[in-house]
């Protein structure tokens, strides 16, 4: 449901991750075997965006939504780690400074996901308290 605050937080997280997907420069970074870090980065970004969209449509199952958000938070932390590794291994200052706001977008997404989880927890506690009264 769009009128719930956690849905708006999830849409904010989705917007931040989509922005990171389009701002992030995937063709820089070291390669490992057949996968480049850019390909891993893009794959993780797509997985996180799919999980957030899935969580938005799980509005009737709050606990599943909560678990999907936690998984998205973990994957966003992995994205931050991969992105930091890429930035540290870039040669020269000019290439590293081109990232700009791309470093902050997964962190902004994590903040939105944490706020969504707090709102989901608040809803779940409200439903449990009403069930106790019956």
Q: Where are the domains of the chain?
A: 5-133
Helix (H) or strand (E) holding 51: helix 37-57
Residue 33 has pLDDT above 60, yes or no: no
* Fold for the domain defined by 5-133: 1.20.120
Reported confidence tier of residue 39, pLDDT bands at 50, 70, 90: confident
Please tell me the distance from the alpha carbon of residue 65 to that of residue 42, in angstroms, as a whole number: 23
Question: Helices 5-23 and 105-133, interaxial angle, to 10°?
Answer: 160
Residue 98 has pLDDT above 70, yes or no: no
Average pLDDT over residues 26-53: 72
pTM of the entire predicted model: 0.82
């Amino acid at each position: 449901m769009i009128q719930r605050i956690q849905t708006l937080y999830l849409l904010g997280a989705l917007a931040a991750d989509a922005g990171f997907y389009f701002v992030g420069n995937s063709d820089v970074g070291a390669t490992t075997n057949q996968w480049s870090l850019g390909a891993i980065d893009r794959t993780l970004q797509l997985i996180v965006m799919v999980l957030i969209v899935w969580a938005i449509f799980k509005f009737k199952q709050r606990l599943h939504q909560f678990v999907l958000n936690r998984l998205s938070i973990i994957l966003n932390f992995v994205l931050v780690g991969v992105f930091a590794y890429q930035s540290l291994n870039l040669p020269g200052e000019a290439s590293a400074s081109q990232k700009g706001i791309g470093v902050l977008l997964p962190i902004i997404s994590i903040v939105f996901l944490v706020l969504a989880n707090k709102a989901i927890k608040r809803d779940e506690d409200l439903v449990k308290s009403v069930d106790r009264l019956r």
